[in-house]
Structure 1
Amino acid sequence: MRTLGLTGGIGSGKSTAAGLLAARGASIVDADALSRATTAAGGPAIPAIAQAFGPDFISADGALDRERMRRLVFEQPAARHRLEAIVHPLVRAATDAAADEARRAGAALLVFDVPLLVESGHWSDRVDRVLVIDCEVATQLARVLARSALDEATVRRIVASQASRIERRRAADFVVFNDGLDITQLDVALGAIARSMGL
């Protein structure tokens, strides 16, 4: 089984790319979804987050108060490290389990969909190749503002907190520049990469 790390900045089209690769038969492990599950109501990270940050960071339904935590980590970088120290080991265990399941199922290509793959620095030993979905920052802003309730200042802060386009491209084995591509063109580009990875 070959492994491909898929990453890209917010609004790059990474999730669309993951869906297209899945349609071609790749097995997808969505690290962001697994991360959200750890901080959902009853998630395994909740007790440690409550202990480290206080009960105000847990919402009435027992999940992480994402908006409150987002504000804190933007204001205090050290808070981000404390949160990651809680969440990352849980996500690592969950992605390992998902990879083992895909391997047992006979998957030819396993794609780890990881928004912060470059930033984390923990993936180089887990993937054979890295695919970056890239686009202009202006395109990222337009896409996120069109699909979410976030304001422009918040989206700009998120973009600034992520690896730069240069940093992501430097880490990439494959780059798809997803600015102006329609879904068919994106699928064609991804198909060539998937075939080179044995799919």
Structure 2
Amino acid sequence: MRVIGLTGGIATGKSTVSNLFKANGFPVVDADVVARLEPFALEQWVITDTHDVLKKGTGGWRKVVAAFGEDILLENGEVDRPKLGQIVFTDPSKRQLLNRLLASYISYGILWEVFKLWIKGCNIIILDVPLLFEAKMDRWTNPIIVVWVDPETQLKRLMERDRTSAQDAQNRINAQMPLDEKRSKADIVIDNNGSLEDLNENFRKILDQVSKPLTWTEFWLSRQGAIVAIVSIFSGVLGCKKLVARL
């Protein structure tokens, strides 16, 4: 099975690329949508709506409440996501604390989603994770795709998208790993400085690369490979028993 890592930065167009993969029939494990702490768009951690790591009563919820206090809760006991987002965006140490508290729950949720797709027989999966490198999830993926724009374009698009000030937008950008550092770690870079048409063209150029036949290592990690291995082992054992019986 081939697990392709997809990452980028805020306002780089990563979600657009993720949607292009979906439109082309690729299953996507999205770790960005459900737990986003609007209006601050904290690109924090979602797996699916059934694995919301901050949902009331979950282990992640209990750890976060213990660390940040009950002041971050709404009247119904759920986390006030905008309030928590404001806290962690203005204090890097608290943002790192939040990431540490939730890391194990996030990893479990992602692995569970990948396992379900493995059971279904999917051979190629897109793992869409904003903090792919920060969470060390890049070790699970190959190749790694980074959606990149230059700093000026990123700032301009973020300000236009969220109608925020330059300072607020820059603070949110600074809260993430620099895009150039992510680009240096990538196997494939999608330059998204141009138009949507340019992005579509760049995307089409990488489709053949990510869709090429599985390597033998990837095949043996797929469901089909596992079945072949089990059948081969069973046949070998059965053959040995027959051979011994004849002696």
User: TM exceeds 0.5?
Assistant: yes
The alpha-carbon deviation at position 42 of structure 1 amounts to 5.1
Q: 2:149–2:191: 8 Å Cα contact kept in structure 1?
A: yes
Q: 2:7–2:146: 8 Å Cα contact kept in structure 1?
A: yes
What are the Cα deviations for residues 89-133 of structure 1, in whole angstroms up to 9, with x where unaligned?
11100000010111122223211111122233x123210111011
Per the alignment, residue 78 of structure 2 pairs with: 63
Instruction: Between 150-159 and 89-98, report the one with greater CA deviation.
Output: 150-159
Q: What TM-score do you get using the length of structure 2 for normalisation?
A: 0.72
2: CA distance between counterparts of 1:64 and 1:149?
A: 25
2:157 equivalent among 121, 143, 152: 143
1: CA distance between counterparts of 2:159 and 2:143?
A: 31
1:162 aligns with 2:154: no
SS of residue paired to 2:32 = helix
What are the Cα deviations for residues 116-175 of structure 1, in whole angstroms up to 9, with x where unaligned?
22233x123210111011112222223222332543322111111211122011110000
SS of residue paired to 2:5 = strand
Going from structure 1 to structure 2, the CA distance change for 1:129 and 1:99 (only over 3 Å counts) comes to: same
Going from structure 1 to structure 2, the CA distance change for 1:141 and 1:42 (only over 3 Å counts) comes to: farther
RMSD of Structure 2 on Structure 1 (CA):
2.0
Per the alignment, residue 197 of structure 1 pairs with: 210
Per the alignment, residue 188 of structure 2 pairs with: 174
Q: 1:26–1:108: 8 Å Cα contact kept in structure 2?
A: no
Larger of the two Rg values belongs to structure: 2
2: CA distance between counterparts of 1:61 and 1:156?
A: 33
Going from structure 1 to structure 2, the CA distance change for 1:42 and 1:140 (only over 3 Å counts) comes to: farther
Q: What TM-score do you get using the length of structure 1 for normalisation?
A: 0.88
SS of residue paired to 1:33 = coil
1:108 aligns with 2:119: no
1:134 equivalent among 135, 148, 160: 148
Percent identity, aligned pairs only, is: 28
Which runs of 5 or more structure 1 residues have no equivalent in the other structure? none
Going from structure 1 to structure 2, the CA distance change for 1:140 and 1:41 (only over 3 Å counts) comes to: farther
Quick one: higher RCO (CA 8 Å, sep 6+), 1 or 2? Answer: 1
1:51 equivalent among 41, 58, 66: 66
